[in-house]
Structure 1
């Protein structure tokens, strides 16, 4: 063997890591399906040749990753894997990134603009009459929330989420919901909404009319203006 080939020391793995790896593989391969109960702790200890602490630590890791739900007094069960589950796992990291570097909030708003302008353009080609009716009902709910900033904000999120749902793409829907959640958690929503509610409602109505006419370019133009106006209301970093 050539002497200059780099070799690294072998790292001993924790027993719990081996348990995690085996259970994850069973979930990924479909041996354990959503809703299935995992083997009992005693069964895993006997079949894997590990102690109770290693099994419990492994189960806690899988629970933290969102792969299973631990039931005290009962068997742990496998969760349904979904884009929502995957993105939920990075919520804390996203919050840390934004808190540690406020400039990332501007980057997130820019990403949202690109995302939502593209979404509404695509939605215009696919939207149904029932979905248009649903959007108009959400606008009316938002109108009824005037004077209640928190309710108005939730209605706004509902409107934008419903736009995304038109595409029937769970990955896009989950990404949109996550971005909106991260943005609103890091902004003073009272400052953002106060005095601008009626403008927001009018913009939502105009976008919905463009969608009803299946005019993607007009809908995209209106969404861009809507988000550009919102951008000017936010404090800029530095």
Structure 2
């Protein structure tokens, strides 16, 4: 039988949390639209009967979530949200997760493979002749950067990002792009490209050939082989002297 006399206090909420909820609701409902200025701090203080610290703390929380911009001396404004901006909010915590629990890098690479093999199949069905020409040019540009590791890696990322974009799903693209960035950022200093440039370029060319032929199954298979082979380039070597 429940004890109705046992203490069950209702927790007091911070005033800033209440202000945050009100402003968040205004954004979600469309009362405040992208690029709209928020009421001034003084107006919010008067409207909600709270002090300046509560207002500023609420605004900072909205800014941290990526919902508003905060500029010194100017009114805060509602940000225009996109799938990319939403996923971007995860960048910091994702990098921290990989640093404190590096075993998650393997899980992230597995997830990337799942996404990219599926996306290249969709991209094959949707790509245009202009897309194929652009991808071939990117391979040419990457080949020209073979003696510049930083440029070569940047060209590699751009090639994969272009295929992801061709697939045309902005939500999936935002997630896939983010995973690609997290992997390369986390171990950029340990990527071992030396001696693998020609293989990488050949595999990129084979993927594009399959896309140009309209064979999504082959493109997905080749992408899987490519990602499996290149996975060791983002592994921490057992012997630091192995880094090339």
Q: TM-score, normalised by structure 2?
A: 0.91
Measured after TM superposition, the shift of residue 8 of structure 1 is 4.1
- Indicate the residue corresponding to 1:157 in structure 2: 157
Unaligned 5+ runs, structure 1: none
The verdict on how the C-alpha distance between 1:229 and 1:42 changes in structure 2, with shifts beyond 3 A counting, is same
- Distance in 2 (alpha carbons) for counterparts of 1:228 and 1:126: 25
Residue range with higher mean Cα deviation, 95-104 or 181-190: 181-190
Deviations 1:139-188 (A, max 9, x none): 12212212111111111111111101112111111111110111012224
1:21 aligns with 2:21: yes
CA contact (8 A) 1:103 1:237 kept: no
SS in 1 for 2:124: helix
Measured after TM superposition, the shift of residue 235 of structure 1 is 3.3
The verdict on how the C-alpha distance between 1:215 and 1:192 changes in structure 2, with shifts beyond 3 A counting, is same
CA contact (8 A) 2:190 2:233 kept: no
CA contact (8 A) 2:124 2:215 kept: yes
SS in 2 for 1:193: coil
- Distance in 1 (alpha carbons) for counterparts of 2:50 and 2:202: 63
- Indicate the residue corresponding to 1:132 in structure 2: 132
CA contact (8 A) 2:136 2:208 kept: yes
Deviations 1:30-67 (A, max 9, x none): 11111110011111111111111111111111111110
* Divergent runs of 4+, >6 A: 4-7
Deviations 1:118-151 (A, max 9, x none): 1111111111111111111211221221211111
1:169 aligns with 2:193: no
- Indicate the residue corresponding to 1:141 in structure 2: 141
- Indicate the residue corresponding to 1:79 in structure 2: 79
- Distance in 2 (alpha carbons) for counterparts of 1:57 and 1:143: 50
SS in 1 for 2:35: coil
- Indicate the residue corresponding to 1:200 in structure 2: 200
- Indicate the residue corresponding to 1:3 in structure 2: 3
How many residues are paired up? 238
Q: How does 1:4-153 map to 2 (within 5 A)?
A: 8-153=8-153
Residue range with higher mean Cα deviation, 84-93 or 169-178: 84-93
The verdict on how the C-alpha distance between 1:203 and 1:189 changes in structure 2, with shifts beyond 3 A counting, is farther
CA contact (8 A) 2:69 2:77 kept: yes
Measured after TM superposition, the shift of residue 2 of structure 1 is 4.5
- Indicate the residue corresponding to 2:242 in structure 1: none
